[in-house]
């Protein structure tokens, strides 16, 4: 038996509860801006670490308060709005052979570079310049490869962690196993 006064109804975006919940949600993530501001203001590492720990705890509490203020319908509405934006940037399922080769190169080069870097530095210390821009480029290239390789590649990677997964190549006649 349920009381009609306690049932959660649909929450319009114009209600005060929904707006307050969004405000708390924005504040929870906006609090992280205090860390670089404190660092640029010359705060000691101990103060920055304390601030970071406090923000971690406060962030979790504010997220729970945000959901409590909005209620379940409001939270589901925010979640659906976020998922709609993410669906627009999801990678394609299938890609052509050239795009696949480029994506594999973009995926493997940063990983190979990161694996060989300590050995190359030990053998030939002054070979590579120590530029953070080059390392950032490798990180960006690795992240971009997710979108270049497409969704089917990540299904294959996921299958590595499923013991009973089998590979089926639909390119062969008869769908070889």
- For residue range 78-101, list pLDDT tens digits in order: 888 888 877 766 666 677 889 888
Q: Would you state the pLDDT for residue 171? A: 67
Task: Tell me the pLDDT tens digit for each residue of 27-81.
Answer: 999 999 999 999 999 999 999 999 999 999 999 999 999 999 988 888 888 888 8
On the question of pLDDT at 177 being above 70, the answer is no
Q: Alpha-carbon distance 63 to 56, whole Å?
A: 11
Full-model pTM:
0.49
Task: Tell me the pLDDT tens digit for each residue of 93-148.
Answer: 677 889 888 989 999 999 998 888 888 888 887 776 677 788 888 899 998 888 88
User: Does 169 fall in a domain?
Assistant: no
Count structural domains, the chain.
2
71 and 27 assigned to the same domain: yes
Question: How many residues are listed for the chain in this entry?
Answer: 177
Q: Would you state the pLDDT for residue 167? A: 72
**Torsional sign, CA 44, 50, 56, 59:** negative
Give the burial class of 21: count Cβ atoms within 10 A of its Cβ; 0-12 exposed, 13-18 middle, 19 or more buried: buried
Residue 110: give the domain boundaries: 97-159
User: Does 3 fall in a domain?
Assistant: no
- CA separation, residue 167 to residues 18, 92, 150, 157, 162 (Å): 47, 20, 17, 11, 11
111 and 78 assigned to the same domain: no
Q: Would you state the pLDDT for residue 91? A: 62
Last residue of a domain, one of 59, 87, 115: 87
Q: Are 71 and 17 in contact (CB under 8 A)?
A: yes
On the question of pLDDT at 175 being above 80, the answer is no
On the question of pLDDT at 7 being above 80, the answer is no
User: Does 64 fall in a domain?
Assistant: yes
pLDDT band of residue 8 (cuts 50, 70, 90) is very low
Task: Tell me the pLDDT tens digit for each residue of 162-172.
Answer: 888 887 777 65
Q: Alpha-carbon distance 146 to 153, whole Å?
A: 9
Q: Alpha-carbon distance 7 to 9, whole Å?
A: 6
Q: Would you state the pLDDT for residue 156? A: 80
């Amino acid at each position: 038996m349920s009381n009609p006064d306690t049932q959660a109804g649909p929450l319009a975006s114009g209600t005060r509860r929904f707006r307050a919940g969004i405000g708390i949600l924005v504040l929870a993530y906006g609090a992280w801006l205090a860390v670089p501001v404190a660092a640029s203001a010359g705060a000691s590492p101990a103060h920055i670490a304390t601030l970071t720990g406090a923000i971690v705890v406060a962030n979790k509490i504010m997220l729970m308060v945000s959901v409590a203020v909005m209620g379940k319908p409001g939270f589901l509405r925010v979640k659906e709005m976020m998922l709609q934006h993410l669906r627009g940037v999801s990678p394609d399922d299938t890609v052509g052979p050239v795009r696949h080769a480029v994506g594999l190169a973009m995926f493997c080069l940063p990983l190979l570079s990161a694996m060989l870097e300590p050995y190359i530095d030990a053998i030939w210390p002054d070979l590579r310049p120590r530029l953070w821009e080059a390392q950032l480029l490798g990180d960006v290239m690795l992240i971009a490869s997710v979108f270049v390789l497409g969704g089917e590649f990540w299904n294959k990677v996921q299958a590595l962690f499923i013991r009973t997964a089998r590979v089926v190549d639909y390119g062969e006649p008869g769908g070889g196993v």
